[in-house]
Amino acid sequence: MSTYSDPPSGSFQLSMLINDTRYRSYTFQFVALLLLVLGMAYLGWNLVQNLAAAGLNISYQFLGEPAGYDINQTLIPYTSQSSHWQASMVGVLNTLLVAFLGCIMATIIGVAVGVLRLSNNWIVRQLMSIYVEIFRNVPVLVWILIIMAIFIAVLPQPRDFRGDDAEASMFLNAFAFTGRGFYSPAPIFGPGSGVVVAVFLASIAGIFALRNYATKALYQRGQLIPTLWPSIALFFIPAILAFYIMGRPIGLEYPELRGFNFQGGVFMRNSLIALWFALSIYTAAFIAENVRAGILAVSKGQTEAAASLGMRPNRIMNLVVLPQALRVIIPPLISQYLNLTKNSSLAIAVGYMDLTGTLGGITLNQTGRAIECIVLLMLFYLTISLVISALMNVYNNAVKLKER
Amino acid sequence: MKKLAILGAMTAAGLTAGAASAATLDDVKARGTLNCGVTTGLVGFAAPNANGEWEGFDVGVCRAVAAAVLGDPTAVEFVPTTGKTRFTALASGEIDLLARNTTWTFSRDVDLKFEFVGINYYDGQGFMVPKELGVSSAKELDGATVCIQTGTTTELNLADFFRANNISYEPVPIETNAEAQPLYLEGACDVYTTDASGLAATRAAFENPGDHVVLPEIISKEPLGPLVRHGDNDWADINRWVLNALIAAEELGVTSANVEELASAPGDNPEINRLLGTEGTLGEMLGLDADWAKRAIMAGGNYGELFEKNIGENTPIGLARGLNAQWTEGGLLYSPPFR
Amino acid sequence: MSDTHAQSVAFVRDTMIPEQAPPASEAGIIKWMRENLFSGWFNTILTLVSLYFIYQIVTSAYPWFANGIWTTSSLAECREALDGMTGACFSVLTERWNQLLFGFQYPNDAYWRPTLAFFLLIVALVPVLYPKAPRNMLIFTAIYPFLAFWLIWGGTILIPIVAMLGFVGGYFAFKQFDHQSFAMGLLAGVIAAVVVWWVGGFATGAAPNLLALEAVPSRDMGGFMLNMILGTVCVALSLPIGIVLALGRQSHMPIIKWICVIFIEFIRGVPLITLLFVANVVLAYFLPPGTNFDLILRVIIMITLFASAYIAEVIRGGLAALPRGQYEAADSLGLDYAQSTRLIIMPQALKISIPGIVNVAVGLFKDTVLVSVISMFDLVGMIRGPILASTEWNGVYWELWGFAVFVFFIVCFSISKYSQWLERQLATDHR
């Protein structure tokens, strides 16, 4: 066997493109690039041919034309005369709304379930693992449709509230849980209500200031200042005083049955709630597993050390275990948020008008601009994903263990 | 390991299928079946029965075309399409003919580049409400929750109607007729709106059809017809004249019962003779044989027979002929002459 | 001394007392309950709330199950039979059983074919899933895809045979040229396979009815069968693509690396539903004019791409977890890239990635129900469309959705249990 430390010298030969590892990678890359370009060109050529044969073209003109259809849930002003672009924006906001609500609720349920799965109560532990296994192992679309079926088939419809001996009645005369959605009273801000709101905000700021002061006092002077009762008092008293001094400027508008539907108050549509709940409980099952894994990743010595300092179990959890577990939990948690946002595109199954329902649904149908609509749709979801990923990286770098 | 099967199948399919040409007629003949786009299920127009066989009024058109072109009314592959997929399915060549109660509109004809070959049902958009609501006119629907099938002209008409009358409503977009049904029945919507024929068909599938009324307002013109791709005029002609043959056959009194007899020898009426190929060369001009119209009529009967069998007054759907009667009887059906 | 003691001590025990049972509160079930259910007021409340919850569920669900009606042919009849009692109309399941499993278009007299294919799938999977199963069963696993294709789609048996011969020919050609270099072998294999398929094309054309089962077009597939087909085919197809993508992303060649990165991140950034829209309404524009894949094939392509991006990320994790020394050891043995990847790196990386791959597979199987959104009649599509809209079964929700939950739960839960078992089996590091 011959050994050599230097590559064989000599001039460059063509065969070295295949046989010499130094140059072979260039060959491979060149071939790969060539194949990619050829593949793209082939698909592009087909597209051009097909479009020409069908007499179509690629154009985004339609975005400026009036949409012509109505949308039930609009967070920005929109009428059927608004453009397709505005309709898409309504859809974007609806997507973001349900994703935002879903993430919050999924986190709350997920953390609760994850902690309870480690509870020392046997029966709770079992119930929680049943919850996690059932919800993880069944498609989220099925959960969305099941919750929608509850709305359709179980909850009373507005017609059941009608008449003298109605089958259903409003809860406390203020809340109505109907098959079309939930109605609750809405605040009405009269003149002078600005003062009340300002006082309320100021008192919240005051609570934070008090807590800050208390912490500082504890750390610097070892002085224990009670915060709980003063906080509660601060929260309620100034605002209530202001409310009465200003002559009760904020009223409540109660929903009531008028005509076909309940009118007035705050209305949350069945499609929003079905989507929101289903996405939350489904994603929560995954988050619970992440939380559990994160807590288990904190070494038992930490818990024992905290216990030996005389801390009670819930304080150990809050002050010692969770802060450390968070570092493990956050990255998968954010990818669950990402999944939830992407799964919100299933809105189309229950008629919630998110981006898939407006741009990818009715606009696509009405204009027939399939390629353009789907490209825009993908770009939007891609943007959201990239933004969330970027945030995740920033956060990850911030909480990374600073090793020295 | 499953990948191998698919790769193998793809290759084998690619080898056997060969390249297709631009002429749809040749494609259909080479394939031996007609790919016909229909709804995902609307009783009376196109729906699979208990045995999984498609039947209905639109299905009848597909079968007539298949009979005329291929000689076999069962040589049809039915492709269920939704409001969203139907146009791409046709534009991309997945289907040869779209017979899915599709409204003939300017933009679909001109902008989307399709060719409507005729009108097989004159329709209009209507509203259905439960009787117990006591509504007698669509103008009383202020504040109502309305279920609409998306991807149709329906939602545009609806927006226009409510805007013109300055009343508010809450639209609930639904993808298919099947999904809209439970929403409406359980009361999650007050009103269901779609083409009047579709309302009748939907109502016929209810347990108690009598509890629901279709309001008198018809808020739009919905001429429904089969359509094909732009640019293949020969294929469009075949479909147009098969449809016309069915309409003309009713006008001329040719039915599936007597067509065999009338086609056996030239009779007294020269137009019947030309239609059935005992005189002239109309079939040849279309690129088909002389018996094409006879086979189309035998497939399911003439227009009137198809209507009576699938959606007429003696069926659960119970539609009157109305606008869809022959012009001689005060309707709008008027086939150009066969000469 | 002894005397005084003998008088002052009245009793001296000279035998051990027999062991007493611990106090009732410190033993057996009571101790267990004290420790696990009632330790502290908070736990007690939790326990009571949970018990109440379970009690509520059981009391409301039990009569529903117990009074279930299994034999009526419509909801109205079922309600009549129940006569006002709480009870389930499971008869919708029995009456529409075939539709739920096979869709409404698959020929009735051919139901045995997918059923047989399903049971053979289990047989074929045994040697893959259980490392201890006899190795020569793998031959059946290799034949299975072709057999299943023939059983489910029908047509002449020549097509799958020719397809299989192509792979066999490709394999032998690969073996012939493999000693020169991996790339050469691959090229030779591909060429040989294509030649066999091309020649075989004539054979199938010549005898289209040899041993032919009734051909079933793929748009007639439906029901849970469609979910199973999509799930198994797409997972199987996406594994090799995922491996290639993962290797590409780890590669030192910048162009290849960036192609893979862009592909993976793009696919992972968009929801599956948009990819299905692509399959449904856009993909046809990118195919040569005149060609026509049917919908199920287009969907398979898009779901496979989707799954392979996720699998690639899982395998990349596995590759990254391998100690650097493994790569260096392989290099120092003088193995080239293909050899070291095949013999050293991949077996270890795949082993690490198994839980992740199974997670992706379970997720993918669940995601196959999304095809119901693009008007394909899988299990969920059948329930939402033809069954709930039929005159007979208007308004039967819980029985149908309960069935869907049950079926998916059984399949996905057993896959994840299997993966946990396999993880323990493969743990060779004796921790």
Which of C186, C369, C407 to substitute to test the interface with A, most A CBs within 10 Å? Answer: C369
Closest C-alpha to B91, from B114, B61, B108: B114
Give pTM, 2 decimals.
0.86
For residue B84, the chain C residues in CB contact (below 8 A) are: 280-281
Domain ranges of chain C: 28-59, 93-106+216-426, 156-212
Among A207-221, B236-250, C289-303, the range of highest mean pLDDT: B236-250
CB pairs under 8 A between B and C: 156
Closest residue on chain A to B143 (Cα): A260
- Based on the domain organization, do A153 and A276 belong to the same domain? yes
Percent of chain C past pLDDT 90, that is, above it, reads 22
Q: Is the pLDDT of residue C181 over 80?
A: no
More confident residue, C109 or C133: C109
- Based on the domain organization, do A149 and A194 belong to the same domain? no
* Mean pLDDT value of segment B285-313: 90
For residue A270, the chain B residues in CB contact (below 8 A) are: 188
For residue B84, the chain A residues in CB contact (below 8 A) are: 361, 364-365
Q: Is the pLDDT of residue C3 over 60?
A: no
Instruction: Determine contact: B171 vs chain A, CB below 8 A.
Output: yes
**Domain range enclosing A232:** 186-253
Closest residue on chain B to A156 (Cα): B187
Q: Select the residue of B5, B12, B88 nearest C204 (Cβ to Cβ).
A: B12
Question: Are A106 and A114 contacting, i.e. CB atoms less than 8 angstroms apart?
Answer: no
- Give the H or E element holding residue B48: strand B47-48
Q: Is the pLDDT of residue A7 over 60?
A: no
Instruction: Determine contact: B84 vs chain A, CB below 8 A.
Output: yes
Q: Is the pLDDT of residue A138 over 90?
A: yes
- Based on the domain organization, do A156 and A119 belong to the same domain? yes
Q: What is the ipTM of this complex?
A: 0.87
130-169 in B: which are within 8 Å (CB) of A?
132-133, 141-145, 150-152, 155-156, 158-160, 162-163, 169
Tell me chain B's radius of gyration from C-alpha atoms. 21
Question: Are A110 and A291 contacting, i.e. CB atoms less than 8 angstroms apart?
Answer: yes
Structure confidence at residue C69 (pLDDT) = 85
Closest residue on chain B to A49 (Cα): B92
Q: How far is CA A109 from CA A125, A277, A291, C231, in A?
A: 15, 11, 11, 30
Structure confidence at residue B235 (pLDDT) = 92
For residue A127, the chain C residues in CB contact (below 8 A) are: 50, 53-54
pLDDT in tens, B172-181: 888 778 788 8
More confident residue, C413 or C84: C413
Structure confidence at residue C2 (pLDDT) = 52
- HEC assignment per residue over C305-371: HHHHHHHHHHHHHHHHHCCHHHHHHHHHCCCCHHHHHHHHHHHHHHHHHHHHHHHHHHHHHHHHHHH
| Alpha-carbon gap: B50 to the closest alpha carbon of chain C (Å) | 8
Structure confidence at residue B19 (pLDDT) = 35
| Alpha-carbon gap: B186 to the closest alpha carbon of chain A (Å) | 6
How many CB atoms within 10 Å of residue C135? 9
More confident residue, C309 or C283: C309
- Give the H or E element holding residue A314: helix A313-315
How many CB atoms within 10 Å of residue A401? 7
Structure confidence at residue B240 (pLDDT) = 93
Which of A141, A282, A335 to substitute to test the interface with C, most C CBs within 10 Å? Answer: A141
- Based on the domain organization, do A222 and A282 belong to the same domain? no
Closest residue on chain B to C193 (Cα): B8
For residue B19, the chain C residues in CB contact (below 8 A) are: 290-291
pLDDT in tens, C191-207: 888 888 888 777 777 76
The residue from A7, A36, A54 where one domain ends is A54
Structure confidence at residue B7 (pLDDT) = 44
| Alpha-carbon gap: A175 to the closest alpha carbon of chain B (Å) | 18
Q: What angle do CA B25, B67, B105 make, to 5 degrees?
A: 65
For residue B163, the chain A residues in CB contact (below 8 A) are: 79-81
Q: Is the pLDDT of residue A251 over 70?
A: yes
Q: What is the CATH number of the domain that holds A374?
A: 1.10.3720.10
| Alpha-carbon gap: A362 to the closest alpha carbon of chain B (Å) | 6
Grade residue B11 by pLDDT with cuts at 50, 70 and 90: very low
Grade residue B22 by pLDDT with cuts at 50, 70 and 90: low
Structure confidence at residue C428 (pLDDT) = 66
Please check whether residue A404 lies inside any domain of the structure: no
* Mean pLDDT value of segment A7-30: 71
Closest C-alpha to C189, from C205, C169, C215, C206: C169
Which of A70, A256, A258 to substitute to test the interface with B, most B CBs within 10 Å? Answer: A70
Does B113 contact A348 at a Cβ distance shorter than 8 Å? no
Closest residue on chain C to A364 (Cα): C281
Residue appearing with tokens 């959605």: A181
Structurally, how many domains does chain A consist of? 3
More confident residue, C246 or A402: C246
Which of C48, C293, C397, C408 to substitute to test the interface with A, most A CBs within 10 Å? Answer: C397
Q: Is the pLDDT of residue C24 over 60?
A: yes
Structure confidence at residue C105 (pLDDT) = 80
Structure confidence at residue C228 (pLDDT) = 92
Does B205 contact C292 at a Cβ distance shorter than 8 Å? no
Per-residue buried b or exposed e for C362-375, using 16+ beta carbons within 10 Å of the residue's own CB:
bbbbbbbbbbbbbb
For residue C32, the chain A residues in CB contact (below 8 A) are: 122
Does B174 contact A351 at a Cβ distance shorter than 8 Å? yes
- Based on the domain organization, do A150 and A210 belong to the same domain? no
Instruction: Determine contact: C271 vs chain A, CB below 8 A.
Output: yes
CB pairs under 8 A between A and B: 106
Does A46 contact C51 at a Cβ distance shorter than 8 Å? no
- Based on the domain organization, do A115 and A176 belong to the same domain? yes
Pick the CATH number of C93-106+216-426 from 1.10.3720.10, 3.60.20.10, 1.10.940.10, 1.20.210.10: 1.10.3720.10
- Based on the domain organization, do A157 and A285 belong to the same domain? yes
Does C43 contact A119 at a Cβ distance shorter than 8 Å? yes
More confident residue, A287 or C338: A287
Query: Which string of DSSP letters, residue by residue, matches A54-82?
Result: HT-----GGGGSB-----S--SS---TTS
Q: Select the residue of B113, B145, B182 nearest A55 (Cβ to Cβ).
A: B113
Grade residue A8 by pLDDT with cuts at 50, 70 and 90: low
Q: Is the pLDDT of residue B231 over 70?
A: yes
Structure confidence at residue C426 (pLDDT) = 75
Instruction: Determine what percent of chain C falls in helix, strand and coil, rounding each to the nearest 5.
Output: 75, 0, 25
Instruction: Determine contact: C266 vs chain A, CB below 8 A.
Output: yes
φ, ψ at C396 (rounded to 5°): -95, 100
Domains of chain B (ranges; CATH) run: 21-122+223-329 (3.40.190.10), 125-219 (3.40.190.10)
Structure confidence at residue B113 (pLDDT) = 84
Q: Which of A353-357, A381-385, C154-158 has the lowest mean pLDDT?
A: C154-158
Closest C-alpha to A302, from A331, A328, A264: A328
- SS3 (DSSP) at B76: strand
- Based on the domain organization, do A96 and A127 belong to the same domain? yes
Instruction: Determine contact: C30 vs chain A, CB below 8 A.
Output: no
Tokens of A123: 């029966």
For residue A72, the chain B residues in CB contact (below 8 A) are: 170-173
Does A139 contact C254 at a Cβ distance shorter than 8 Å? no
Does C159 contact B93 at a Cβ distance shorter than 8 Å? no
Which of C190, C273, C411, C415 to substitute to test the interface with A, most A CBs within 10 Å? Answer: C273
| Alpha-carbon gap: B283 to the closest alpha carbon of chain C (Å) | 27
Average pLDDT, chain A: 85
Structure confidence at residue B12 (pLDDT) = 41
| Alpha-carbon gap: A294 to the closest alpha carbon of chain C (Å) | 17
Q: Select the residue of A55, A80, A365 nearest B83 (Cβ to Cβ).
A: A365
More confident residue, A238 or C312: C312
- Based on the domain organization, do A170 and A291 belong to the same domain? yes
Closest residue on chain B to C234 (Cα): B3
DSSP code, position A83 = B
- Based on the domain organization, do A174 and A313 belong to the same domain? yes
Q: Which of A22-26, A79-83, A323-327 has the lowest mean pLDDT?
A: A22-26
* Mean pLDDT value of segment C43-70: 88
Among A182-196, B84-98, C227-241, C323-337, the range of highest mean pLDDT: C227-241
* Mean pLDDT value of segment A76-97: 91
| Alpha-carbon gap: C54 to the closest alpha carbon of chain A (Å) | 9
> In this complex, which chains have at least 3 CB pairs below 8 Å with chain A?
B, C
Give the A-side interface with B, CB within 8 Å.
50, 53-56, 68-72, 79-81, 151-153, 157-160, 179-180, 258-261, 263, 270-271, 348-349, 351, 353, 357, 361-362, 364-366, 368, 370
Structure confidence at residue C6 (pLDDT) = 53
| Distance, CA of C403 to CA of C412 (rounded, Å) | 14
- Based on the domain organization, do A175 and A199 belong to the same domain? no
- Based on the domain organization, do A273 and A390 belong to the same domain? yes
Written as one letter, the residue type at A178 is T
For residue B186, the chain A residues in CB contact (below 8 A) are: 152-153, 157, 179
Q: Select the residue of B156, B162, B231 nearest A53 (Cβ to Cβ).
A: B231
pLDDT in tens, A294-339: 988 888 899 899 999 998 888 888 888 888 888 888 888 888 999 9
